[in-house]
Chains A and B, each alone.
Chain A
């Protein structure tokens, strides 16, 4: 069926993107990507996290502007500028996080940028016409609700139908779905697929972005695979298997990107997690982390990795379960208690949570460890001891001495340092608290390859000194390169745990996607 759609002689090309490139802060995310859409076809866009799928579609939808390249829409040039322009040109973008407003009614959400009006001159909304049109659109997507129902009363699946009805309201020629099934039940997913099938029959072009490879195989006529911002494979669905898609997605060879591991896993548990659950977020989390061990957590975006880290560190509460550090159960869990018992947490977002950007290196390094240097009853800081420890800590993560400044507060503001050096400052800060457990959430995000290598070396040194290190990363290669063991998360659960000898990129990815091994 899919192949026959391709071979139809009178294909109408509705969109053509040629050599589109985009860089964020000099980091290229799209490199000369070309793509064509044909009326009445579904194009599947797959790739690892950060491969550039969403950026490509955000360009089409007017959310971000491309640096270079040309786009033609139905034969006429199209310069995406704003989401509104994209809508006016017949492009509907159904984002993963729906752009709907819970405080408005279903009808109002449908017409938020184009209410039916009484007349051209009189700006009042024609409510009767709005209800009538809305009722038609709601019926067209088989949604069982009324135009005046508050959106807040609808389930995630029903809200998505509202977003699709919105696409119908502008008679969109192109409908983009970004991860549409992540918050849907099985039944709602089936309903969505039937609807997509109908949109296709009506002659609309559809882009379907998803991590669910089975769905992609089932729905799409053609598939484009993106890796590192470039199209690495494309063709009719019949030319792909799930295994070949995964292979094309991960592709690259591992060179000497990772240092040799020196540390050895010891027998003593530094972290024990039992039965952690939080309603709707994570379920049944249990694992142990040993001294000297580097344990990775892999999983897709939105699989609950970062949320788990926040719960472990005590930022977010858990409904049940215990966390013990070095054999001691933490009774009242909070970030302060976690630090006191020897846990360190490097957040995903250095800029927002980990560092004070206007303060200098020494001030930042000293932050978490200040209580250790407060002397006696008065709690006055012992500045000499502190300065010495800061220097020691900074040098041990190879922050250049030139960046330190002679006195505390004298040095360069952390803002002026590179991403790699900033990350080292965060590491130095936590080293000063002598932690037994490190939780690193995306420690190398946005860092160049050289600096990454240094961070990997530091992780090994941490483990060598007897600490346990928990690393969360979206880059599977990175985890394979540095970890002793990798756990895979999916839908808030740990679905697999693999020792070094079992590391296999495709197998791990299969668990992340499917929760089991494919085939």
Chain B
């Protein structure tokens, strides 16, 4: 029981970010900048906290910065029609570079106020778990119970058909990048609340873990298929468990990426296989079917 609670707490940050990633993947998009958005939001919050600002101000500022990044991603992908891969790869470097410049690549120790928030408990669960739970429930309800949520699945399945069916594709694409950015920023804030430090490597390569969590949870990289609950939640817990196990077994930390890579590779291979089967079923027929 205790172990499960620990895994839950440890996986919260990943889960918050992976939920946003799932939304983007559902529409057949991708966002590589989430790790950097985590970092730049954490840096923003950290700077303000160090300057004596309240936790609330730091929190809101971190989210505003994250939203700006999400808006930039959305603008270039939707308005300028640049490939999401290229746009978010650029914002990945911009965010990381900006943050490293602002912190002079040094770790920033934060006042106790935020650490207290990070370890605060309510009904036996820590603050990060509550944030993750609210995000997951919100995203799940959005995806499964609202019109725009169902439309995201339609867009991911066939963008052109979605446009012709009258779905506001451009608007929803923008919203998805905004939300993904926002959740990455939230993940960054929760991460510093948990550890009390803004380290220069915060969020580095987390985009890959988030993609892995989504895909492991059954979300397709080709769009149109996947769920936040239970899918992404299971994926995030699984990845965190593997990392925790490696940790307790004292495995050489340099081997972690190999294990993670193996998991991602397996998940992507399964996804690709399933997609090919779906394509085969949808093959265009020329010859009429017999009555």
Which A residues are within 8 Å of any B CB, using their own CB?
A: 61, 63, 82-84, 86-87, 93, 95, 97-104, 108, 111-115, 117, 123-125, 127, 152, 155-156, 182-188, 280-283, 302-304, 307, 491-493
Nearest residue (CB) in A for B26 is A103
Cβ–Cβ contact B285 & A281, under 8 A: yes
Given contacts A185-B288, A303-B286, A492-B287, A97 and B150 within 8 Å (CB-CB): no
Q: Which residues of B contact A307 (CB under 8 A)?
A: 286
Give Cα A436–Cα B168 distance, bound, in whole angstroms.
51
Of residues 150 to 186 in B, which have CB atoms within 8 Å of A's CB atoms? 150-151, 153-154, 156-158, 161-168
Give Cα A281–Cα B287 distance, bound, in whole angstroms.
6
Cβ–Cβ contact B287 & A84, under 8 A: no
Cβ–Cβ contact B289 & A104, under 8 A: no
How far, in Å, is B145 (CB) from chain A's closest CB?
5
Check B188 for interface membership: any CB of A closer than 8 A. no
Give Cα A111–Cα B146 distance, bound, in whole angstroms.
11
Cβ–Cβ contact B165 & A99, under 8 A: yes
Cβ–Cβ contact B151 & A112, under 8 A: yes
Cβ–Cβ contact B161 & A84, under 8 A: no
Check B281 for interface membership: any CB of A closer than 8 A. yes
Give Cα A115–Cα B225 distance, bound, in whole angstroms.
20
Give Cα A95–Cα B161 distance, bound, in whole angstroms.
10
Cβ–Cβ contact A108 & B150, under 8 A: yes
Give Cα A229–Cα B286 distance, bound, in whole angstroms.
27
8 Å CB contact of A103 from B166, B224, B287: B224
Cβ–Cβ contact A280 & B154, under 8 A: no
Cβ–Cβ contact B225 & A112, under 8 A: no
Cβ–Cβ contact A113 & B167, under 8 A: yes
Give Cα A63–Cα B224 distance, bound, in whole angstroms.
23
Give Cα A101–Cα B156 distance, bound, in whole angstroms.
9
Cβ–Cβ contact A104 & B291, under 8 A: no
Nearest residue (CB) in B for A116 is B147
Check B290 for interface membership: any CB of A closer than 8 A. yes
Check B282 for interface membership: any CB of A closer than 8 A. yes
Cβ–Cβ contact A187 & B224, under 8 A: no
Cβ–Cβ contact A101 & B285, under 8 A: no
How far, in Å, is B156 (CB) from chain A's closest CB?
8
Cβ–Cβ contact B154 & A101, under 8 A: yes
Check B4 for interface membership: any CB of A closer than 8 A. no
- Can you name 8 extra interface pairs (CB under 8 A) apart from A103-B224, A123-B147? A82-B166, A99-B161, A112-B165, A112-B166, A113-B165, A115-B147, A155-B289, A283-B287
Cβ–Cβ contact A491 & B150, under 8 A: no
8 Å CB contact of B287 from A63, A83, A127, A280: A280
Nearest residue (CB) in B for A189 is B291
Cβ–Cβ contact A491 & B288, under 8 A: yes
The 7 closest A-B pairs by CB, nearest first: A84-B166, A186-B291, A99-B165, A99-B161, A115-B147, A185-B291, A83-B166
Check B258 for interface membership: any CB of A closer than 8 A. no
Given contacts A84-B168, A87-B166, A491 and B287 within 8 Å (CB-CB): yes
How far, in Å, is B94 (CB) from chain A's closest CB?
27
Cβ–Cβ contact A156 & B286, under 8 A: no
Cβ–Cβ contact A183 & B285, under 8 A: yes
Q: Which residues of A contact B151 (CB under 8 A)?
A: 112-113
How far, in Å, is A162 (CB) from chain B's closest CB?
12
Nearest residue (CB) in B for A97 is B161
Nearest residue (CB) in B for A489 is B286
Nearest residue (CB) in B for A308 is B286
Q: Which residues of A contact B163 (CB under 8 A)?
A: 83
Check B283 for interface membership: any CB of A closer than 8 A. yes
Q: Which residues of A contact B82 (CB under 8 A)?
A: none
Check B141 for interface membership: any CB of A closer than 8 A. yes
Nearest residue (CB) in A for B165 is A99
8 Å CB contact of B286 from A84, A98, A115, A492: A492
How many residues of B are in contact with the other chain, CB < 8 A?
33
Give Cα A355–Cα B168 distance, bound, in whole angstroms.
34
8 Å CB contact of A124 from B146, B157, B287: B146
Q: Which residues of B contact A104 (CB under 8 A)?
A: 150, 153-154, 157
Question: Beta-carbon contacts of B12-41 to A below 8 Å, as 1s and 0s?
Answer: 000000000000000000000000000000
Q: Which residues of A contact B167 (CB under 8 A)?
A: 84, 112-113
Of residues 259 to 281 in B, which have CB atoms within 8 Å of A's CB atoms? 278, 281
Given contacts A101-B161, A303-B286, A125 and B166 within 8 Å (CB-CB): no
Q: Which residues of A contact B166 (CB under 8 A)?
A: 82-84, 86-87, 112-113
Of residues 125 to 162 in B, which have CB atoms within 8 Å of A's CB atoms? 141, 145-148, 150-151, 153-154, 156-158, 161-162
Q: Which residues of A contact B286 (CB under 8 A)?
A: 280-282, 302-304, 307, 491-492
Q: Which residues of B contact A123 (CB under 8 A)?
A: 146-148
Give Cα A492–Cα B168 distance, bound, in whole angstroms.
37
* Sampled A-B contacts (9; CB under 8 Å): A100-B165, A103-B153, A104-B150, A112-B151, A124-B141, A125-B147, A183-B288, A184-B289, A187-B291
Cβ–Cβ contact A83 & B165, under 8 A: yes
Q: Which residues of B contact A61 (CB under 8 A)?
A: 164
How far, in Å, is A432 (CB) from chain B's closest CB?
34
How far, in Å, is A139 (CB) from chain B's closest CB?
23
Q: Which residues of B contact A302 (CB under 8 A)?
A: 286
Cβ–Cβ contact B146 & A112, under 8 A: no
Cβ–Cβ contact A280 & B161, under 8 A: no
Q: Which residues of B contact A303 (CB under 8 A)?
A: 286
Q: Which residues of B contact A82 (CB under 8 A)?
A: 166
Q: Which residues of A contact B164 (CB under 8 A)?
A: 61, 63, 83, 93, 95, 99
Cβ–Cβ contact B288 & A125, under 8 A: no
Cβ–Cβ contact B290 & A124, under 8 A: no
Cβ–Cβ contact A101 & B224, under 8 A: yes
8 Å CB contact of B225 from A98, A100, A103, A491: A103
How far, in Å, is A516 (CB) from chain B's closest CB?
15
Q: Which residues of B contact A124 (CB under 8 A)?
A: 141, 145-146
Q: Which residues of A contact B288 (CB under 8 A)?
A: 182-185, 491
Nearest residue (CB) in B for A111 is B147
Nearest residue (CB) in A for B282 is A102
Q: Which residues of A contact B291 (CB under 8 A)?
A: 185-188
Q: Which residues of B contact A108 (CB under 8 A)?
A: 150
Give Cα A156–Cα B141 distance, bound, in whole angstroms.
31
Give Cα A239–Cα B283 distance, bound, in whole angstroms.
41
Cβ–Cβ contact B157 & A185, under 8 A: no
Give Cα A182–Cα B289 distance, bound, in whole angstroms.
10
Q: Which residues of A contact B161 (CB under 8 A)?
A: 97-101
How far, in Å, is B115 (CB) from chain A's closest CB?
37
Cβ–Cβ contact B157 & A103, under 8 A: yes
Q: Which residues of A contact B162 (CB under 8 A)?
A: 99, 101
How far, in Å, is B169 (CB) from chain A's closest CB?
10
Give Cα A440–Cα B164 distance, bound, in whole angstroms.
32
How far, in Å, is B219 (CB) from chain A's closest CB?
12
Q: Which residues of A contact B148 (CB under 8 A)?
A: 123
Q: Which residues of A contact B147 (CB under 8 A)?
A: 111-115, 117, 123, 125
Give Cα A282–Cα B284 distance, bound, in whole angstroms.
12
